[in-house]
């Protein structure tokens, strides 16, 4: 039998893959590895160290996988050794990382389990079933990385992904992250931050990092705009959280900031 089906990650929660003690069977552990593998090249961080994973690779310690599967570490190592023996996975070292950094696990023949990305135009290639799969999810791993690094997640993530798929060939991911976060840091209030989908569709990474600043009113400006009852020739000489005081040099008047009435 050839071909395959799309499988949701929620399948890992299915009782069919678990034993009575809530641990995975071997099929469940294999599906876990396939679903954890990177769909496209991406950065993966553990603690303070980051490694670049290629398509079909994942990076987890044996203890992490054992906990996820509900197994002992000994059983997990034995299962991984079996997968290596059957040429289902291979291990590789992470260059420049600490001695306790996990090895990189590569799914051998990953494209046999997941549809592949065309080299020329980024479209799925393979059998007929592959070609009807939505192109919007081809770069979802890369988009998730971008979304996770945004300092403000404004608007719909789903809509932003759709917009990203339309402009992904015009700008690199790191530029998007850097430019949008600069915009966020300059905003004086959340309402001045554009939705990420709008930022993408308007190609605003090409703009200068400028943003309309919220006008800050002095206590005098605030009171005069609200009540307009300060006599001519009077100037503010002081204010507190609930009152404001004016003087013309000869006499003083104190008003309530709450209702504008003279105190």
Residue 130 has what pLDDT? 45
Q: How large is the average pLDDT for residues 216-245?
A: 90
- DSSP character string of 20-56: TTS-B-HHHHHHHHHHHS-SS-EEEEETTEEEEEPTT
Residues 6 or more apart in contact with residue 107 via CB below 8 angstroms: 33, 34, 37, 56, 57, 58, 88, 89, 113
Alpha-carbon distances, residue 251 vs 2, 89, 90, 245 (angstroms): 94, 87, 87, 11
Question: Does the pLDDT at position 35 exceed 70?
Answer: yes
Question: Does the pLDDT at position 59 exceed 90?
Answer: yes
Question: Does the pLDDT at position 2 exceed 70?
Answer: no
CB hemisphere CA count around 250 (13 angstroms): 1
For residue 107, give the H/E element and its range.
strand 104-107
Q: How large is the average pLDDT for residues 82-93?
A: 93
């Amino acid at each position: 039998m050839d071909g395959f089906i799309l499988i949701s990650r929620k399948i890992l929660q299915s009782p069919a893959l678990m034993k009575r003690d809530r641990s995975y069977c071997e099929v469940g552990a294999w599906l876990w590895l396939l679903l954890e593998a990177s769909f496209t090249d991406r950065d993966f961080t553990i603690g303070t160290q980051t490694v670049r994973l290629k398509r079909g690779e994942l990076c987890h310690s044996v203890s992490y996988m054992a906990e996820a599967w509900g197994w002992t570490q000994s059983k997990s190592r034995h299962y991984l050794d079996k997968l290596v023996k059957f040429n289902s996975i291979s291990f590789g070292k992470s260059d420049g990382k600490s001695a306790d950094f996990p090895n990189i696990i590569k799914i051998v023949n990953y494209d046999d389990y997941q549809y592949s990305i065309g080299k020329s135009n980024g479209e799925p290639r393979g059998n007929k079933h592959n070609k009807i799969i939505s192109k919007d999810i081809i770069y979802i791993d890369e988009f998730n990385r971008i979304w996770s690094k945004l300092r403000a997640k404004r608007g719909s993530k789903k809509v932003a992904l759709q917009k990203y798929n339309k402009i992904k060939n015009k700008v690199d991911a790191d530029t998007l992250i850097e430019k949008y976060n600069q915009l966020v840091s300059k905003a004086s209030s959340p309402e001045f931050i554009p939705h990420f989908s709008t930022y993408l569709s308007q190609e605003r990474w090409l703009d200068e990092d400028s943003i309309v600043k919220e006008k800050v009113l002095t206590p005098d400006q605030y009171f005069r705009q609200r009540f307009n009852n300060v006599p001519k020739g009077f100037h503010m000489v002081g204010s507190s959280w609930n009152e404001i005081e004016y003087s013309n040099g000869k006499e003083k008047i104190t008003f309530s900031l709450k209702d504008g009435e003279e105190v």
